Every structure is written in C-alpha cells, then in structure tokens.
C-alpha cells in the first residue's frame, strides 16, 4: 500500500486529497502544525522516520500575511517564507533521504497563480511560491536518476477557509479573470493529484495550472 504525507493537513484541499487518496487505497497522513512543524528540521525528520516508507509527499502547508511591501515588516516577510519555502525544503530533504533508499517517490508542491503573475499586497507569498518552481525543477534534475519525480500544481482560486476573508467584490474580480467564469474546487484538484501520482509515472519537473486563467508572458 502506498504511503502519502500531506503537509498542512487540516486545510480544505488537504482534507479533500486525503479522502481521494484513501479511496484509492493509499495510507494517508495529514498532520497539522501541532503534529508536524515543517519549520523545524528535527520535527520533520522524526515524523518522516516513523513512517518507515514514503511514496508521495504533497507540500501543501502555507500561510499568508498580506500587506503592501512598505507596510510589511521583516518578520511578516520571513514568516511566510519560513513555512511556504524553507519548511518545504526541509521536509523535501527528509523525504528525499527515504525515497532515495527506496529508489522511488513523488513530491508535489502546491503553488499559486501569484507565483506567475504576482498579486498586489502579496510580495512575500508570491516570492515564496515562485521559488518553489525553481526548487522543484532543481530537485527533479538532481533525483530523477533515482526514480524520484517532482512536480508543481497550481490549484487556482478555491473557495476555502484560507480565502474566506475575501469580500464579494474581490471574489467577482477573481472570477472575471477566469475564461470559464468559475472557480476550481478542492475535490477536482485532489483527483488530479491522485491521477498525476498513479497514472503519470513518466512526468517530472512540470508545472500544472488547473484553473482557467490565461497567464501573461512578460
């Protein structure tokens, strides 16, 4: 039975993915911050080690501290990077140790539209997510010879607790940027990640954008 670990396990996308993978006969671990603090190398390694096997790591944990840069403190910037980027580099490092011994594994980074086009008031978040793309490409090159895949998934705008703070006008503005004039949903994203893991064994180093926004090339 394949074993999957999802960081940020109490989030809406993580819970949808846990349900989907469980239905496809994975053994799924989806810890929250209290159980697994990805900012701590010791916490990460102890958690990974007790699994004994790891086939799929989904780096889903993320935080936001939205402000224009001139109003953002250094701590605001660093706090977001410490989870969204550094934390996922730490847990990827631990996972790669185990996957290298297995000669098999798959890491999926959850990114954002902000990584491609930027979002006003989210310079810290956009920077953290954009950096994941470079991290994923490098890891795919470094560990492909050991049959380890690394990919990036951009779920698009999802109606979740993380986006609940947006007002109706902001939601409508986001919706109009989609050519299908509708948002994605956690269950659809979960099905795609499961398909990517089980049915696309020859795919690595790729970025998958799952909504209907057409990104500008600059």
Tell me the per-residue pLDDT of 13-48, one tens digit each, with 9 for 90 and over.
Answer: 999 999 999 999 999 999 999 999 999 999 999 999
Residue numbers annotated as active site: 125
| Spans of the chain below 70 pLDDT | 160-166, 174-177, 215-218
Q: What is the pLDDT at residue 52?
A: 94
204: helix, strand or coil:
coil
Domains of the chain, start order: 3-157+185-209 (3.40.50.720)
Q: What is the pLDDT at residue 194?
A: 98
CA max distance for the chain = 51
């Amino acid at each position: 039975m394949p074993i999957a670990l999802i960081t940020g396990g109490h989030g809406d996308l993580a819970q949808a993915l846990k349900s989907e993978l469980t239905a496809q006969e994975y053994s799924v671990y989806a810890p929250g911050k209290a159980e697994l603090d990805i900012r701590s190398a010791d916490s990460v390694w102890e958690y990974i080690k007790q699994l004994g096997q790891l086939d799929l790591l989904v780096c889903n944990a993320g935080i936001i501290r939205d402000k224009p840069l001139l109003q953002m403190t250094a701590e605001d910037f660093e706090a977001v990077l410490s989870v969204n980027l550094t934390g996922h580099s730490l847990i990827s490092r631990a996972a790669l140790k185990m996957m290298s011994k297995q000669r098999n594994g798959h890491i999926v980074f959850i990114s954002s539209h902000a990584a491609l086009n930027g979002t006003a008031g989210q310079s810290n978040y956009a920077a953290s997510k954009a950096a994941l793309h470079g991290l994923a490409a490098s890891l795919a090159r470094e560990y492909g010879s050991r049959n380890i895949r690394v990919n990036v998934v951009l779920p698009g705008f999802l109606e979740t607790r993380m986006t609940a703070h947006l007002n109706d006008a902001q939601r409508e503005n986001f919706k109009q940027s989609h050519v299908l004039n509708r948002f994605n949903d956690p269950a659809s994203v979960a099905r795609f990640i499961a398909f990517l893991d089980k049915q696309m064994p020859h795919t690595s180093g790729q970025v998958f954008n799952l909504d209907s926004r057409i990104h500008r090339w600059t």
